[in-house]
Amino acid sequence: MAAMNRSDRIDADACYRALCSHDARFDGQFFTAVTSTGIYCRPVCRVRTPRRENCRFFEHAAQAEHAGFRPCLRCRPELAPMDRHWSTEDASAILQRQATRWLDDPQHWCDADGNMGERLAARLGVSDRHLRRVFEDRLGVSPLQYLLTRKLLTAKQLLADTDLPITQIALASGFASVRRFNAAFLDHYRLNPTQLRRESSTRARNRGQGTTVRLGYRPPYDVAATLAFFRQRLIEGVAFVDDQQRLGQTLRMDIGERSHRGWLIAEFDEKRCQLVLRVSDELRDVLPQVIHRLRAALDLDADPGAINAVLNGAFPAGDGLRVPGALDGFELAVRAVLGQQITVAAARTLAQRLVNHFGEPLVTPHAALSRLFPAPEVLAQASGDALGGLGIVKQRQAAIVALARGVAEQGLVLDGSADVPATIAALKALPGIGDWTAQYIAMRALRWPDAFPAGDVALHKALGVQDLKHPAREAEAASQAWKPWRSYAVVRAWSAGHVAPHTGATA
């Protein structure tokens, strides 16, 4: 089936064909609203296919809800992958894309008061009126309406999959009070929140065993390659990868003035194109933020169809490859510094020593998860003698301390909501961090799909330019044909070249 039109006017006939096939490749790319029922669904929904004349199609759940439709209780639109379409579009499209990336991050949510739009517009350097106009023109909803849908769908997932109290769900979903939460739920879904509780979510739960939720992704997804990438780089005590396609990791999340410390285990269910996530009780209060981070770390929102359309000519064997991210952008950045100009194994050894010396012990029910990666505040105060005693050379000592201070004291943001050009410039201004390291951090921590570490030695070998006079320049020139998916091109080049990336690709 040909790829659907991704222009402002959605191709309804292509959407209906995808709906009839229940093709998971289109999950999250559009939603089908059925006029005879008032319900909107994902294209993978297994209910009886509605008649064509009863269908309306929307690119975003917010559009369907703004038009008066309620989410399906069977296919559950909140489980769908996010729309992460990138292109070299006009300024309005870029602005809308940057705004929705910020609004999709639960860490930035607050009650949808009158200041939210102004704060977002100020962050993007435009007026509140202009931002609203862009959203209305491109999505047919305002930024606050878009945000409200994200919050309500998050609450719907927590109601269905957890036994969290209603008050806790309201706060975790970004509402300032239960009253406002109940009012928004009734207004949009015409249901009381307790009516959406599943019987399984109210059963007695074994304390300490965690809370389980499911997350969708679009196929193809090369699960083995992703897990192999993390297995090669895991730090004992901080993470594990086992033979049951499970990835486990400890995690610290500082939200506001509170610090949450716990663990998570993610297991792939390839048959359903889903990830089963189990989160420790200590992280339940920030479950939406954990889900958001894991989706980014495992690149669950990638659109293989759009990526393959650009890259398959040069890299025909990489359809299911994703760009591995990180649950903690600071950890990724430190490990990128540690890995400069040494092998994967050597950098992993240094990272292990760093965790053993500076990491915080964590009690968990899993023997393989026992320590947290050092906090920025800890490494910001690390002495040269202490770092040197671990085998870290002076240049990287200075880079690690400066990086930690930038995060702890100066508000350097290392996640997908960051201003990418500004963050790359800020990173390169730190001692010991050059273009390669900054681009690598942008690729994996900032989730920038068009990052390109042109100076990577393994990339030069994979592209066959290592013997030329200016290999980085040649690699950069070749990469222009792969925009805006150069991060994926790098991963495919590494894989096709059968060469483990060096010079920092160990994080």
105, 285, 328, 456: which one is catalytic? 456
286: tokens are 């920030």
- Torsion, Cα 182 187 193 195, to 10 degrees, reads 140
Distance of CA 442 to the CA centre of its chain: 13
Q: What is the DSSP letter of 320?
A: T
CA-based Rg of the chain, rounded to a whole angstrom?
Answer: 23
Is 41 annotated as catalytic? yes
Greatest alpha-carbon span in the chain = 72
447: tokens are 């989730």
Find tokens 């990287």 and name the residue.
Answer: 396
C-alpha distance from residue 193 to each of 62, 75, 179, 180, 369 (Å): 19, 18, 11, 12, 35
Query: How many CB atoms lie under 10 A from the CB of residue 469?
Result: 7
Which are the contacts of 386, defined by CB distance < 8 A and separation ≥ 6? 357, 358
Q: At what angle do helices 178-189 and 143-161 cross, to 10 degrees?
A: 100
Is 105 annotated as catalytic? no
Asked if 294 and 226 touch (Cβ cutoff 8 Å), the reply is no
- Cα 5 to Cα 145: distance, rounded to the nearest angstrom: 25
How close are the terminal C-alpha atoms of the chain, in Å?
A: 38
Asked if 364 and 385 touch (Cβ cutoff 8 Å), the reply is no
Residue 43: asked if its preceding bond is cis (omega within 30°), the reply is no
15, 27, 41, 450: which one is catalytic? 41
Q: Which residues are catalytic?
A: 41, 456
